Chains A and B, each alone.
Chain A
Amino acid sequence: MDSKDYLKDISEIKDLMNKSSRFISLSGLSGILAGIYALIGAAVAYWLVIEYSNGTLILDGKIFNLVMLDLFLIAFFSVVTGIILTTRKAKKNGANIWDTSSKRLVINFLVPLIAGGIYILIILGRQKYGQTGALMLLFYGLALVNASKYSIGDIRYLGFIQIILGLICAWFPGYGFWLWVLGFGVMHIIYGTWMHFKYDVKK
Chain B
Amino acid sequence: MSIITNINKVFDHRIRLGIMSILMVNEYADFNMLKELLGATDGNLASHTKALEKAEYIKVEKQFIGRKPNTRYSTTKLGEAEFKKHINALEKLINKQ
Taking CB as reference atom, which chain B residue is nearest A14? B21
A19 to chain B, nearest CB (A): 6
Chain A residue contacts of B25, Cβ below 8 A: 17, 20-21
B90 touches A17 (CB 8 A): no
Chain B residue contacts of A13, Cβ below 8 A: 17-18, 21, 87
Encode contact with A along B2-38: 1 for CB under 8 Å, 0 otherwise: 0000000000101001100110111001000100111
A7 touches B94 (CB 8 A): yes
B36 touches A16 (CB 8 A): no
Taking CB as reference atom, which chain B residue is nearest A2? B97
* CA–CA, A14 and B21, complex, Å: 8
B33 touches A100 (CB 8 A): yes
B37 touches A19 (CB 8 A): yes
* CA–CA, A1 and B36, complex, Å: 26
Chain B residue contacts of A84, Cβ below 8 A: none
Main SS of the interface on chain A? helix
Interface centre among B12, B14, B24, B37 (most CB of A within 10 A): B37
A6 touches B94 (CB 8 A): yes
Chain B interface residue count, Cβ-Cβ cutoff 8 angstroms: 20
A63 to chain B, nearest CB (A): 49
Encode contact with B along A75-119: 1 for CB under 8 Å, 0 otherwise: 000000000000000000000100110000000000000000000
Which residues of A line the B interface, CB within 8 A?
Answer: 1, 3, 6-7, 9-10, 12-14, 16-17, 19-21, 96, 99-100
Residues A20 and B29 in contact in the complex (CB < 8 Å), given A9-B17, A12-B14, A96-B36: yes
B26 touches A6 (CB 8 A): no
A16 touches B18 (CB 8 A): yes
Residues A3 and B93 in contact in the complex (CB < 8 Å), given A10-B87, A13-B87: yes
* CA–CA, A17 and B55, complex, Å: 22
Chain A residue contacts of B14, Cβ below 8 A: 9, 12
A6 touches B24 (CB 8 A): no
